[in-house]
Chains A and B, each alone.
Chain A
């Protein structure tokens, strides 16, 4: 096999694993949009906030320490012990569920029956608020996140491909783990929505709010539930991306990678988020590989949006999304 074919195969495989990382972010958007019709602008910031909280717990950091010290003249910084990841992750899940409850109480409850654009604007406000809150609670310095997921070149893939093809492929172990975690997460979501009472209620609300209300399903409970699940998905995305780059405020920008994925896969489809992520990942890596010698690289950001634009022209609901027909 020629070097070009081998390199292209390597780029495509990397694209698949990177695409799964994009899907992890896109899943949170889909969950909230499916259940409530809200495009949650704050999903990226939720991933950042979850990762900040997790690292804060791991490092035994006292939340709001700079604020407490400024007001009371104290010098508290940490509790004096580090929390193991096995405890810190459930503690962060509790925080994310609490946050979902507060969002419903303080924001969504007051915006029932408002236009989608109003709810979208509310999530923009929420994004700014959460970013500031994360800064005040945990500080703005870059933090190392390590929950024990290995990263670096996968020796097994390298050896296998070298023995098979004479060229060792590079694949990041962290991305391979993302593949496993995404699989577990999608399976769990499917089991939850198909086989539990709350899951069926969630699907009912997603299908028809009015009908669900008429049979006694609490819309407010479903919203708390949806935002809680989206918060957990955000935590997973925050862990995976934060392990790559450290936890810093640019983590919120991973949401920008999710948007073309959603346009491709559809805003209402969980499998769509996965397939969309894979398509974007493979597409951008192959495009960069073949076009880099011609146009000089750094094509990934705009290529994903170009692909999304083409989809918007020919299939605006995405590959798996529901076609929205509005009668006037």
Chain B
């Protein structure tokens, strides 16, 4: 009799228990170890701290707490895929792997599993074609935008003419580093400058051959597509051969404190692109101090707050939260699914008013996402390093990329991908 009662109570408990926990799962594919950890750690900290802020200050999104989980990829593509396999069954709402190599591997998987992938400023550029890549988003800017913005900046500096100029592209010899080449080749033909491509094998600890070649070429400008130790070594080598730092432009992944601090005074004047504001002079950082750091809940030890890559991680988290909020409004309920999150991302609208409300005035260029355009505004600014004050400062306003050209290239690339994978483009 007692056993029957116990069984009945257990059965009632099981029936009464909720089938799914009431939370929003934002998994993080981080790299806090390995040679690329100096870039991976501040990004992960910024991402985590913003989500902690939303939980602590606002009680989550739409009343539901955000649940985070962390999987270490070490910037290794195979481990990134393993991480994906381990979390895909745990209702992930959005994935941000911070690696172009991992992104390329995940695109077919997330498409099959129906999980949104956000590759902010990295990954496959043609994924901005939302009809071919419905589950992949790369707003607010992509590599081709970066290449175009760099050339537009140089056009501004040279009275709208680059005729006869020589520009070197020094790049990480990987899928990531090779991404801007088609755009730069196209722009080279259009504007009449000579493009010299100089690859550097990963990790890029030793680059004397490359910089001897650059010294021989005597270029007018050098554009860098580097990551990790390659950046610091390149900037050091550029300083060694006395290349003018204000003629050396890094993509946003070559524009963090990690890249310039090791070089000391030699890095003074180095410039890089950025698709978000710099420094910590934004109200949101006061909230992070109050609700996260002062409560002992910071992801790191708090010394990265306001650094370039930390800010980028925070920005990525902010965009994920805003997309989830949009998804909740569209779905009419708080407990959204991955498919509803995707819809939210596709209807995301970042306005100046909203940025001000979030404590990030002028931090980002306003943009709208649509089914056709998963790529955002494509605008970026130029930042310059001051070695004395150890700070980045913005030296331009937003510079718009050549979206017409990028659209043409992206359409062609997406069409080839669709043909290879038997995809019929269209809105979901």
| Interface residue ranges, A against B (CB under 8 Å) | 7, 10-11, 14, 18, 21, 65-66, 69, 73, 131-132, 135, 139-146, 151-153, 170, 172, 241, 244-254, 257, 284-285, 288-289, 292, 296-298, 300-302
Chain B residues bordering chain A, tally (CB within 8 A): 44
Pairwise interchain contact A135-B33, C-beta atoms closer than 8 A: yes
Interface residue B407 (Cβ < 8 Å from any Cβ of A): no
Closest residue of A by beta carbon distance from B258 = A142
Q: Measured between alpha carbons, how far is A246 from B204 in the docked complex, in Å?
A: 13
Pairwise interchain contact B228-A69, C-beta atoms closer than 8 A: no
Q: If A245-B233, A245-B262 touch, does A253 touch B38 (CB 8 Å cutoff)?
A: no
Contact residues in B for A146 (Cβ distance below 8 Å): 264
Pairwise interchain contact A153-B240, C-beta atoms closer than 8 A: yes
Q: Measured between alpha carbons, how far is A153 from B243 in the docked complex, in Å?
A: 11
Q: Measured between alpha carbons, how far is A135 from B72 in the docked complex, in Å?
A: 15
Contact residues in A for B296 (Cβ distance below 8 Å): 73
Among B136-144, B192-200, B416-424, the one that faces the other chain is B192-200
A-B contact count (CB 8 A): 128
Pairwise interchain contact B266-A152, C-beta atoms closer than 8 A: yes
Pairwise interchain contact B264-A144, C-beta atoms closer than 8 A: yes
Q: Measured between alpha carbons, how far is A14 from B303 in the docked complex, in Å?
A: 39
The distance from the CB of A277 to the nearest CB of chain B, in whole angstroms, is 12
Interface residue B290 (Cβ < 8 Å from any Cβ of A): no
From B216, B242, B296, residue with most partner A Cβ within 10 Å: B216
Contact residues in A for B266 (Cβ distance below 8 Å): 152
Pairwise interchain contact B35-A142, C-beta atoms closer than 8 A: no
One of A69, A132, A296 near B197 (C-beta < 8 A): A296
Q: If A143-B262, A152-B240, A301-B201 touch, does A249 touch B38 (CB 8 Å cutoff)?
A: yes
Contact residues in A for B4 (Cβ distance below 8 Å): none
Q: If A250-B229, A297-B213 touch, does A245 touch B205 (CB 8 Å cutoff)?
A: yes
Interface residue B215 (Cβ < 8 Å from any Cβ of A): yes
One of A69, A141, A285 near B208 (C-beta < 8 A): A285
Q: With A140-B41, A246-B229 given, can you name 13 additional A-B contacts, CB distance below 8 Å?
A: A7-B216, A139-B301, A141-B41, A146-B264, A153-B240, A170-B241, A245-B262, A246-B261, A249-B35, A251-B205, A253-B35, A284-B209, A298-B199
Q: If A152-B239, A172-B240 touch, does A144 touch B34 (CB 8 Å cutoff)?
A: no
Contact residues in B for A246 (Cβ distance below 8 Å): 229, 232, 258, 261-263
Q: If A146-B264, A245-B262, A298-B201 touch, does A288 touch B209 (CB 8 Å cutoff)?
A: yes
Q: Measured between alpha carbons, how far is A250 from B239 in the docked complex, in Å?
A: 21
Contact residues in B for A257 (Cβ distance below 8 Å): 205-206
Q: If A170-B215, A250-B205, A285-B208 touch, does A142 touch B200 (CB 8 Å cutoff)?
A: no
From A21, A69, A170, A296, residue with most partner B Cβ within 10 Å: A170
Residue contacts A-B, CB under 8 angstroms, 9 given: A7-B212, A14-B212, A145-B262, A146-B264, A170-B212, A246-B232, A249-B37, A250-B229, A285-B212
Pairwise interchain contact B206-A248, C-beta atoms closer than 8 A: no
Pairwise interchain contact A285-B209, C-beta atoms closer than 8 A: yes
Pairwise interchain contact A300-B209, C-beta atoms closer than 8 A: yes
Closest residue of A by beta carbon distance from B37 = A140
The distance from the CB of A76 to the nearest CB of chain B, in whole angstroms, is 11
Contact residues in A for B36 (Cβ distance below 8 Å): 250
Pairwise interchain contact B261-A69, C-beta atoms closer than 8 A: no
Q: Measured between alpha carbons, how far is A11 from B208 in the docked complex, in Å?
A: 9
Pairwise interchain contact B261-A142, C-beta atoms closer than 8 A: yes
Interface residue B289 (Cβ < 8 Å from any Cβ of A): no
Interface residue B236 (Cβ < 8 Å from any Cβ of A): yes
Closest residue of A by beta carbon distance from B170 = A297
Pairwise interchain contact A141-B38, C-beta atoms closer than 8 A: yes
Interface residue B425 (Cβ < 8 Å from any Cβ of A): no
Interface residue B173 (Cβ < 8 Å from any Cβ of A): yes
One of A18, A152, A248, A300 near B229 (C-beta < 8 A): A248
Closest residue of B by beta carbon distance from A131 = B33
Q: Measured between alpha carbons, how far is A151 from B262 in the docked complex, in Å?
A: 13
Interface residue B325 (Cβ < 8 Å from any Cβ of A): no
From A132, A142, A253, residue with most partner B Cβ within 10 Å: A142
Contact residues in A for B263 (Cβ distance below 8 Å): 144, 246
The distance from the CB of A295 to the nearest CB of chain B, in whole angstroms, is 10
Contact with A along B226-256 (1 / 0, CB 8 A): 0011001100100111100000000000000
Pairwise interchain contact B199-A300, C-beta atoms closer than 8 A: no
The distance from the CB of A229 to the nearest CB of chain B, in whole angstroms, is 24
Pairwise interchain contact A151-B199, C-beta atoms closer than 8 A: no
Pairwise interchain contact B240-A151, C-beta atoms closer than 8 A: yes
One of A7, A69, A253 near B205 (C-beta < 8 A): A253
Contact residues in A for B261 (Cβ distance below 8 Å): 142-144, 246
Q: Measured between alpha carbons, how far is A16 from B301 in the docked complex, in Å?
A: 43
Contact residues in B for A254 (Cβ distance below 8 Å): 205
Contact residues in B for A250 (Cβ distance below 8 Å): 35-36, 203, 205, 228-229
Interface residue B210 (Cβ < 8 Å from any Cβ of A): yes
